[in-house]
Chain A
């Protein structure tokens, strides 16, 4: 009876599968927030401050209001009441810029919203936004890039006597590393389409966390939670910048309520540099002490990052420092420095990415002082357990990442001296860095319905930000129920669905697995009950425990497969449209850990340097990742390659520059803030070690969205040193940095 199509491979977990949402994405059918249009919809364009510090002395909107199509100009005096969100609890109530827009007349960063124009068309709103006259009493802003903290830095983790051991160390490194402001710049602009229905809101938001977004918006708009629905079906990525709501969301919603019309507000690329967060400037002093044979005796990591005038954002640069290497003496501290900038926010791999640039650069400098191979130095200082917490690692294979990576890269051919390696008239530089990222689960619920038409539907209020979440959920249901993946419909990105995890921290995959698997099992169990109940039941007279659900079919345990019945037929016989199961995962946060859960990896980089033309290229990258089991190798490899590309940008290209006179981000567009393009792509070789980490879920998956960006910048600057003799301690690498190098032509 079983047709060929119904025969399912033993497992589709861990295979290379095309994404289930691919056909929609390649045909323009995937609906992103700003793609939503409604009858009578209006367009909102904010007015941004042209100073970074001071107060508004007057705001004249009369000319703008008289322009064609303009419906309203809102500012502090007429937008209506907007509240602050209550202090956050866990992963709810989170927003980085806590001040609602227009709360007062004080300007604290360049581009702060001072008014918003709402008009019939986008063009009308744009023109009128330029006609709003705002006068300011401006003061000199502080956007200085040299950081020093007045407050005593916070000690994040400490053990032994870091100062004493450093003082007496045989070999020392004491250097300060700087990472600049980076702007997330997802290609999808932040956007809100707000639809007020007289009582509540439906909000189409560019959100990596619809549940949190709903809570914050309900609080700030002053409406009951149940009167807010947030939808984010497809996200044009976010890289952390779209985790929490930003002030424009409030402007769109308030305008929609005031005018009783749908309102679309799309943030401009320029505003993306001002109003929706950035990775902050970090300044990190690393002190390493070691024995003459390369054993670390002391490690100190003191970091500062800038934050805004009103809000505290700590980058957490020491995130990975406490557990990465074995050393008896260690201290990690951090502090904040206020600047007239918009509030920073998490950007892909917050903390670990800038932190490991500093730490891994220092390790490279130590290896050079020790005249030791940098791979060997890392292997030598591998810890047996997480020394910061005194607990074992759940699954750590960093040594294998290094040895496998070295083998694939051809590291044994390395000649250590500066400029010692040449090929085809180019100087080669080789560098290495290790990476690590936290693994965790956050609470998740999901519903799975097995339907009488032979399909299944899985629903979860999480999001797919481009990482492959639609496909992962389909894979889990297909695997558990034993049905073809084509039969599984996945619904995400809606607060009407069971509460799902935020798309942050690389935690979605590990969090959804237990919930979706559990939901599928429960639905399957209900199918078995339906198979025995009622006189028309296909297995009337049996008990559910006599039956087994396998390969999408129900049969008697130990019975012949020929007597099996497709579950769809079981449901139809019982006149059921479908049966549902709801599953749940518990989060790991707030529970004292018994094991240290982290992913690891090694990055090997080759740069080419042409001294005569000062041409530097990242030519080749070998990355080996230990991130537990990878559920879909096609999407997984893409994640790591994409992170490597972002790492090339971080090391070589990206930095947001503020005008010291007026505090404006002056390269606030994609021609002046340069990100990596097709032409910048090196040869990238990605390997997954694929050791399942069963401490997190039954498949042993940990999550891979962020780890690939850590360590890459240090590997690149290490390679640049090897080629040129110039150690770049302030990113990005600028050609002018290299012109004074020993390898100068």
Chain B
């Protein structure tokens, strides 16, 4: 019985506690129990749920002392959130919007893991506050493509093994997709220079460059 009470207590807390926890972010903890090359329903659940936030639910979240409302347009959907004015765009995406595909590697704009697109340009989402992006068009890795419907850059990363642990991968791909529209010379050295804001500690650099070059050649 005591256990039951404690569980109930913690569930109540969740209602009153966090503007940051929504049905979507709760779902995000379900995650991938297993891995298969074909997306099983379980595998598809987490990212798909995360990629399709519902504005109404986010708005219903409980208060954080000193929080302010912000309306973000993420992956084509409007997200109405209550956030701490000090919250970075990165932490807002991950902790409030349940979009955990964007990663935190340094919080200092030094590693590139948090790269997203703001109005079509790549930015380090750890270096700006969420409240600065009212009305901006934000795209995260979840909005680029999903298993079964991958963006050509995502597919090229799979084909060329452009990762190992996968943690910097979202940022690498967001940078690479933005690079396609940037002035960049044709050589591998040009791509390396423009991708050098994204650190891959596993050192999958040759494969990442191969993936980027393949997409550039085909497009």
- Note all chain A residues with C-beta closer than 8 A to B203: 641-646, 676
Interchain nearest-CB distance for A554 vs B (Å): 23
Residue of B nearest to A25 (CB): B166
B94 touches A30 (CB 8 A): no
Interchain nearest-CB distance for A289 vs B (Å): 37
Residue of A nearest to B174 (CB): A28
Interface of B is mostly: loop
A26 touches B84 (CB 8 A): no
A681 touches B142 (CB 8 A): no
Interchain nearest-CB distance for B76 vs A (Å): 15
Of A29, A488, A637, the residue contacting B36 (CB under 8 A) is A488
B144 touches A27 (CB 8 A): yes
Number of A interface residues in the complex (CB < 8 A): 90
A261 CA to B165 CA in the complex, in Å? 30
The answer to whether residues A21 and B31 also contact, given A187-B199, A641-B203 and a CB cut-off of 8 A, is: no
Is A547 an interface residue when CB atoms closer than 8 A count as contact?
no
Residue of A nearest to B146 (CB): A27
Is A677 an interface residue when CB atoms closer than 8 A count as contact?
yes
- Note all chain A residues with C-beta closer than 8 A to B101: 27-29
- Note all chain A residues with C-beta closer than 8 A to B99: 28
Q: Mark A15-31, 1 if CB is under 8 A from B, else 0.
A: 00011111111111111
A237 touches B201 (CB 8 A): yes
A18 touches B158 (CB 8 A): yes
B21 touches A638 (CB 8 A): no
Is A189 an interface residue when CB atoms closer than 8 A count as contact?
yes
A28 touches B100 (CB 8 A): yes
- Note all chain B residues with C-beta closer than 8 A to A69: 64-65
* Residues 85-135 (chain A) with a chain B CB within 8 angstroms: 120-124, 126-127
* Residues 153-200 (chain B) with a chain A CB within 8 angstroms: 154-155, 157-159, 161, 163-170, 173, 191-193, 195-196, 198-200
A122 touches B166 (CB 8 A): no
A678 CA to B1 CA in the complex, in Å? 57
B192 touches A681 (CB 8 A): yes
Of A28, A35, A186, the residue contacting B201 (CB under 8 A) is A186
* Residues 2-59 (chain B) with a chain A CB within 8 angstroms: 2-3, 6-7, 9-11, 13-15, 17-18, 20-21, 25-26, 28-29, 31-40, 43, 46-47, 50
A187 touches B37 (CB 8 A): no
Is A198 an interface residue when CB atoms closer than 8 A count as contact?
yes
- Note all chain A residues with C-beta closer than 8 A to B9: 260
Residue of B nearest to A488 (CB): B36
- Note all chain B residues with C-beta closer than 8 A to A20: 35-37
The answer to whether residues A28 and B17 also contact, given A233-B31, A671-B108, A679-B192 and a CB cut-off of 8 A, is: no
Is A491 an interface residue when CB atoms closer than 8 A count as contact?
yes
A639 CA to B26 CA in the complex, in Å? 35
Q: Mark A702-738, 1 if CB is under 8 A from B, else 0.
A: 0000000000000000000000000000000000000
Interchain nearest-CB distance for A41 vs B (Å): 6
A126 CA to B84 CA in the complex, in Å? 12
A237 touches B110 (CB 8 A): no
Binds B, one of A327-335, A462-470, A586-594: A462-470
A28 touches B140 (CB 8 A): yes
B200 touches A187 (CB 8 A): yes
Other contacts beyond A69-B64, A677-B199: 7, CB < 8 A: A28-B47, A34-B94, A120-B17, A122-B91, A189-B104, A466-B166, A639-B164
A sample of 26 inter-chain contacts (CB < 8 A) reads A20-B37, A22-B157, A22-B163, A25-B157, A26-B163, A27-B101, A27-B147, A31-B32, A35-B31, A37-B29, A39-B10, A39-B18, A40-B18, A40-B21, A41-B20, A68-B66, A187-B113, A234-B165, A236-B103, A269-B107, A486-B37, A489-B34, A635-B161, A639-B164, A641-B203, A642-B202
Minimum-distance CB pairs A-B, first 7: A28-B101, A645-B203, A236-B167, A39-B14, A466-B165, A31-B31, A25-B166
